[in-house]
Amino acid sequence: MRVMLLGSPGAGKGTQAQLIVEQYQIPQISTGTMLRAAVAEGSELGQQVQKIMENGELVPDQVIIDLVKKRISQLDCENGFLLDGFPRTLSQAQSLRDANIEIDVVIEIFVSDEEIVKRMSGRRIHPGSGRSYHIDFNPPKISGKDDLSGEDLIQRKDDREETVRTRLAVYHDQTKPLIDYYQGYVPELGKKAPKFVQINGIQEVQEVGKQILTVLEQYTSDV
């Protein structure tokens, strides 16, 4: 089972990715994790990545593809994998295709921008422990205070509304076109095309997970 999750920041991909990994016993492949691992192992590729990152430059698509190819060749990917955070752009998706890395199912978790802003900008964190709250969905007993310590809660910079809207703009500009790209696979590749499904992310977490597993089970029964 080779799965790709798409969706805007805050759509709940991380939670659902963990569900898929546990259900199908496949590794979650994160480009960020792979980059850090490559640097840590000190390989030739890792040294190249380290130099790029130290210079504050973007890691080229081909380097990412090389890392993905190396990762999926490992034994734990024999029964499949879950791509997390890659591809992000059309050029990366095309590079993935050029490298003959096939995907079985592409799932988009769709949540409207306004719902994303509400979800993320309402988060509050207790810096000392990492305990998380939400002003609407999981409010503290006393507004602005941690339930256990009574200390002040903070809003992370990444959760501020202006930051969230900027991230959403980047998503719509770069990543959302991937949805059209993978939908366009179907007439071109026929049965070899990945199955594309959109899931409504504005539901209970358990319901979203249930629908995703139903899609994946349907795919395995059809193969």
Reported as half-sphere exposure (CB side, CA atoms, 13 A), residue 6 has a value of 26
In this structure, are residues 176 and 185 in contact, taking their beta carbons and an 8 Å threshold? no
**DSSP character at residue 153:** P
Contact assessment for residue 115 and residue 125, using Cβ atoms and an 8 Å cutoff: no
Residue showing tokens 């939908």: 183
Q: How far is 62 from 113, CA to CA, in rounded Å?
A: 31
Catalytic residues: 13, 88, 123, 156, 167
Rounded CA-CA distance 96/108 in Å is 18
Pairing between β-strand 123-125 and β-strand 105-110 as defined by DSSP bridges: unpaired
Whether residue 11 contacts residue 82, with contact meaning beta carbons closer than 8 Å, is answered with: no
Burial of residue 55, with CB atoms counted within 10 A of its CB: 0-12 exposed, 13-18 middle, 19 or more buried: exposed
Q: Strands of 113-206 (E only): list them.
A: 123-125, 132-134, 195-200
